[in-house]
Amino acid sequence: MHPLNMQGRVAVITGGAQGIGYASAARMLASGASVVLWDIDAERLAQAVQTLSAMPETQDRARGRVTAGVVELTDEASVQAATAAAIETHGRIDILVNNAGITGGNGSTWELDPAVWRRVLEVNLVGPYLTCRAIVPQMLRQAYGRIVNIASIAGKEGNPNASHYSASKAGLIGLTKSLAKEVATRGVLVNAVTPAAAKTAIFDSMKQEHIDFMLSKIPMGRFLQVDEAASMIGWLASEECAFSTGAVFDLSGGRATY
């Protein structure tokens, strides 16, 4: 793993207790950043903090600190309180990775329960809006920030039997592009990644036929590894990413066609 120069930076990672969020936290810690994990699962969060805190120091830079907060990302007050706590503890927020997301299961559009449909939109799209709304003003005061939104290839192509998930991720791509233009001259860069499926706990809420469908669409014939996602996210969250904003970076194993 090639370390990036993130010494002194502070990253907030939503859904950081597992999967891509956890892998991204490990990558950033190894690169010198301090990391604040936000998650709704208190037990997983505590375990993640414990294991990440036990990571060995690298030879060329000190590992950053790990803190955490139980946050309901769809609740404005919860997000605002967590943001204030992160700033009080670390003094700044340089990086935001909007990683938390749910699938809401699978079903035909006309068969999906409206409450489930709305919940997926709330977590996957309204949540990132609320985190950006809370954290971007701090980044503007610093004249520096990196935001990485974890969308999905489903947001570009629209997966059958996942209209709620696909729509939420398409919306996140749109949010990325709009926000990026708003802050383009103020030191804050906003990008998205569109992974193909990574075999994480999110698979537990999917039907096997949907999992098989996703694998069949990937020319490389395998699922994404979370460390591969963390590599791209880490670069987008670093100072080395200096002229890419409002962009969508594919992690699809050859599936994406545009």
Round to whole Å and give the CA distance between 37 and 122.
20
Asked about 144 being catalytic, the answer comes back as no
Round to whole Å and give the CA distance between 79 and 131.
6
Round to whole Å and give the CA distance between 53 and 197.
28
Of these residues, 22, 129, 144, 165, which one is catalytic? 165
Phi (first) and psi of residue 30, to 5 degrees: -65, -20
Round to whole Å and give the CA distance between 102 and 117.
11
> Of 201, 191, 198, nearest to 255 (Cα)?
198
Torsion of CA 41, 47, 52, 53, to 10 degrees: 120
Query: How many helices and strands in the chain, by DSSP H and E?
Result: 9, 7
For the four alpha carbons of 168, 169, 172 and 174, in that order, the dihedral sign comes to negative
**3-class DSSP assignment, residue 36:** strand
Task: Report whether 229 contacts 251 (CB < 8 A).
Answer: yes
Contacts of 46 (CB under 8 A, 6+ apart): 68
* Letter string b/e over residues 132-158, b meaning 16 or more CB atoms within 10 A of that residue's CB: bebbbebbeeeebbbbbbbbbbbbbbe
Active site residues: 165
